[in-house]
């Protein structure tokens, strides 16, 4: 099978990557008499050397940390010392004790969730952003981060094929993006019913009916709780064999209502039938919110876009850069069709804020002080381009299919239709499946977690890293099969 990975492969062939042979721990000392009192350079060089060593040796270490590595974390605790410590000693301790207790998501064989290891260009951009230390709340305080945010939101809206005039916000993750979008929905629906929710709150407000699928993600329910819509009072509708909401089970809606759909079921990866859901919603004026934490990215590749048909008909979307796009963590994205609804829901005023000098990010999101998340998004999208984003989605989907084929050939049962990057595998009775998962985690070649799906225990494989190769998948299938054979 042809693996599509043009942009990344071309870069890999020409770039000088961290030398995998560089295995020994770098020893750097800080010259405190450095000219000009430059206290940054020695520490940054030390951090860079340590980081290079970490990344250069990641393929040789276990993917999940050992129990001993976790127990050693004690060395980072204890009472806060009265006097501070030398920064070199701090970095040394952090790397020596902390690095072994990380999950090696930056390696090639972590499959425990859609947490793709960051693209190298985004890690490097993050370092520059750290040197800048911008507070990306107001244009006036950080023109570059405010400007980049406008740029990336425009790129993303275009990439996903969403309505061009939509507004957006960069937040910590999809859960926060749900909160942001649901606050806009709450505003729009209640304003239509003559209620000012920002001023008067929800006490006494007209009720909003919220419809979710039986397999809605836990973070959506938490977001509903956070915006005062409650997670127990939702109307839950049944799903089909893959976890897709059943449109025929939608209740007749009247009055303010939100339908929460999903692209990318956390277990099966399946996508709700958005077109039909949006059609039904239109008849009653309901707002459709889409949890597209990872599945929204399927819209960026011609071979998977059909899974997201109708996506542009919804009213709001939540997704992440830190999942399938492989930016560093802390990169959620909320997009809302109705600009005014988002602007009013997120409005903030104060004498010190003054007149906006440009688009002020804090006027579009729940945060005030915040980091410049747009920087890594801009770097990732700029590096990959439209074609590279699609390739990243496509190749990881194909690797997931390769996992499923290999596991089936080895005699294991794949429980889901593998349409995206998720594979659910059972090794037999529930307790055996759990023991095999533990054995695989103990082995350390790769890392996958467990889940319960339609009443059965399963191992969940999520493929989302730019770095994973076909050879990695084949090696992991062998490891899993061996673990199964050796498990009593």
Ligand X SMILES: Cc1ncc(COP(=O)(O)O)c(C=O)c1O
Q: How many helices (H) and strands (E) does the chain have?
A: 14, 11
| Residue 366 binds to ligand X (criterion: CB under 6 A) | no
Q: In what helix (H) or strand (E) does residue 182 lie, and over which residues does it extend?
A: helix 174-192
Q: Nearest approach, Cβ of 300 to ligand X (angstroms)?
A: 17
CA distance 425 to 49: 40
Output the residue with the shortest Cβ distance to ligand X: 173
Q: Nearest approach, Cβ of 171 to ligand X (angstroms)?
A: 9
Q: Which residues contact 12 (CB under 8 A, 6 or more apart)?
A: none
Over the window 209 to 238, marking each residue x when it contacts ligand X by CB under 6 A and - when it does not, the resulting string is: --------x-x-------------------
Instruction: Name the DSSP class of 313.
Output: G
Q: Return the structure tokens found at 440.
A: 């695989």
Q: Which is nearer to ligand X, 117 or 332 (CB)?
A: 332
CA distance 432 to 455: 15
Q: Which of 286, 237, 283, 285 is nearest to 262 (CA)?
A: 237
Q: Which is nearer to ligand X, 328 or 406 (CB)?
A: 328
| Residue 291 binds to ligand X (criterion: CB under 6 A) | yes
Q: Which is nearer to ligand X, 182 or 483 (CB)?
A: 182
Q: Which is nearer to ligand X, 55 or 274 (CB)?
A: 274
CA distance 268 to 266: 6
| Residue 267 binds to ligand X (criterion: CB under 6 A) | no
Q: Which stretch binds ligand X (CB under 6 A): 158-166, 173-181, 408-416, 433-441?
A: 173-181
| Residue 99 binds to ligand X (criterion: CB under 6 A) | no
List the 449-453 sheet strands across, edge first. Answer: 413-414, 422-426, 456-462, 449-453
- The pairing of strands 287-291 and 257-262 is parallel
| Residue 464 binds to ligand X (criterion: CB under 6 A) | no
Q: Which is nearer to ligand X, 212 or 266 (CB)?
A: 266
Q: Which stretch binds ligand X (CB under 6 A): 130-138, 290-298, 405-413, 463-471?
A: 290-298
Q: Nearest approach, Cβ of 113 to ligand X (angstroms)?
A: 6
CA distance 459 to 212: 25
Q: Under rule CB under 6 A, how many of the chain's residues touch ligand X?
A: 13
| Residue 175 binds to ligand X (criterion: CB under 6 A) | yes
Q: Nearest approach, Cβ of 183 to ligand X (angstroms)?
A: 16
| Residue among 184, 266, 346, 365 that touches ligand X (CB under 6 A) | 266
Q: Which is nearer to ligand X, 177 or 407 (CB)?
A: 177
Helix (H, G, I), strand (E, B) or coil at 150: helix
CA distance 89 to 478: 42
Q: Nearest approach, Cβ of 251 to ligand X (angstroms)?
A: 23
| Residue 293 binds to ligand X (criterion: CB under 6 A) | yes
Q: Which of 113, 103, 104, 95 is nearest to 49 (CA)?
A: 95
CA distance 260 to 309: 16
Q: Nearest approach, Cβ of 215 to ligand X (angstroms)?
A: 9
| Residue 173 binds to ligand X (criterion: CB under 6 A) | yes
- Cβ distance 283 to 295 under 8 Å? no
Q: Which stretch binds ligand X (CB under 6 A): 136-144, 171-179, 349-357, 474-482?
A: 171-179
Over the window 466 to 485, marking each residue x when it contacts ligand X by CB under 6 A and - when it does not, the resulting string is: --------------------
Q: Which is nearer to ligand X, 171 or 407 (CB)?
A: 171
- Cβ distance 28 to 49 under 8 Å? yes
| Residue 264 binds to ligand X (criterion: CB under 6 A) | yes
Q: How far is CA 404 from CA 111, 309, 431, 474, in A?
A: 13, 25, 21, 11
Q: Which stretch binds ligand X (CB under 6 A): 37-45, 234-242, 289-297, 400-408?
A: 289-297
Q: Nearest approach, Cβ of 175 to ligand X (angstroms)?
A: 3
- Cβ distance 106 to 464 under 8 Å? no
- Cβ distance 269 to 458 under 8 Å? no
Q: Which of 319, 40, 316, 274 is nearest to 171 (CA)?
A: 319
Q: Which stretch binds ligand X (CB under 6 A): 27-35, 147-155, 170-178, 199-207?
A: 170-178
| Residue among 168, 332, 361, 372 that touches ligand X (CB under 6 A) | 332
For residue 332, the cross-strand partners are 171, 320
CA distance 241 to 146: 44
Q: Which is nearer to ligand X, 268 or 433 (CB)?
A: 268
Residues that bind ligand X (CB under 6 A): 113, 173-175, 217, 219, 264, 266, 291, 293-294, 320, 332
């Amino acid at each position: 099978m042809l693996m599509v990975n043009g942009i990344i492969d071309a870069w890999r062939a020409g770039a000088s990557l961290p030398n995998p042979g560089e295995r020994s721990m770098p020893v750097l000392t800080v010259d405190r008499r450095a000219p000009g009192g430059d206290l940054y350079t020695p520490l940054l060089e030390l951090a860079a050397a340590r980081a290079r060593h970490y990344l250069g040796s990641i393929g040789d270490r276990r993917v999940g940390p050992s129990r001993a590595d976790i127990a050693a974390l004690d060395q980072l605790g204890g009472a806060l010392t009265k006097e501070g410590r030398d920064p070199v000693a701090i970095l040394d301790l952090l790397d020596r004790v902390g690095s072994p207790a990380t999950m090696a998501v930056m390696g090639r064989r972590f499959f425990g969730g859609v947490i793709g290891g960051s693209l190298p260009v985004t890690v490097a951009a993050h370092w520059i952003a750290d040197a800048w230390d911008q507070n990306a709340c107001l244009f006036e305080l950080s023109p570059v981060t405010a400007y980049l945010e406008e740029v990336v939101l425009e790129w993303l809206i275009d990439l996903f094929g969403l309505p061009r005039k939509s507004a957006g916000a960069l937040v910590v993750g999809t859960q926060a993006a749900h909160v942001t979008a649901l606050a806009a929905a709450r505003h729009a629906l209640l304003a239509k019913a003559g209620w000012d929710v920002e001023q008067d709150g929800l006490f006494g407000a007209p009720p909003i009916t919220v419809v979710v699928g039986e397999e809605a993600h836990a973070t959506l329910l938490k977001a509903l709780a956070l915006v005062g819509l409650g997670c127990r009072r939702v109307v839950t509708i049944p799903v089909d064999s893959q976890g897709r909401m059943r449109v025929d089970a939608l209740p007749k809606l009247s009055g303010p209502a939100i339908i929460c759909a999903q692209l990318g079921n956390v277990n099966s990866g399946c996508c709700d039938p958005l077109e039909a859901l949006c059609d039904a919603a239109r008849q009653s004026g309901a707002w459709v919110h889409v949890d597209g934490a990872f599945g929204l990215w399927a819209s960026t590749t011609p071979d998977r876009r059909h899974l997201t048909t109708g996506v542009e008909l919804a009213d709001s979307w939540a997704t992440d850069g830190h999942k399938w796009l492989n930016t560093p963590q802390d990169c959620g994205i909320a997009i809302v069709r109705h600009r005014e609804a988002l602007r009013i829901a997120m409005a903030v005023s104060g004498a010190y804020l003054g007149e906006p000098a440009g688009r002020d990010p804090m006027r579009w999101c729940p945060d005030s002080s915040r980091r410049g998340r747009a920087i890594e998004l801009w770097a990732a999208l700029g590096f990959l381009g439209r074609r590279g984003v699609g390739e990243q989605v496509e190749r990881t989907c194909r690797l997931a299919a390769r996992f499923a084929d290999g596991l089936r050939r080895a005699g294991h049962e794949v429980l889901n239709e593998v349409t995206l990057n998720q594979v659910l595998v059972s090794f037999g009775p529930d307790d055996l499946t759990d023991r095999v998962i533990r054995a695989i985690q103990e082995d350390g070649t790769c890392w996958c977690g467990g889940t319960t799906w339609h009443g059965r225990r399963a191992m969940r494989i999520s493929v989302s890293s730019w770095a994973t190769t076909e050879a990695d998948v084949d090696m992991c299938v062998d490891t899993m099969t061996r673990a199964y054979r050796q498990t009593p």
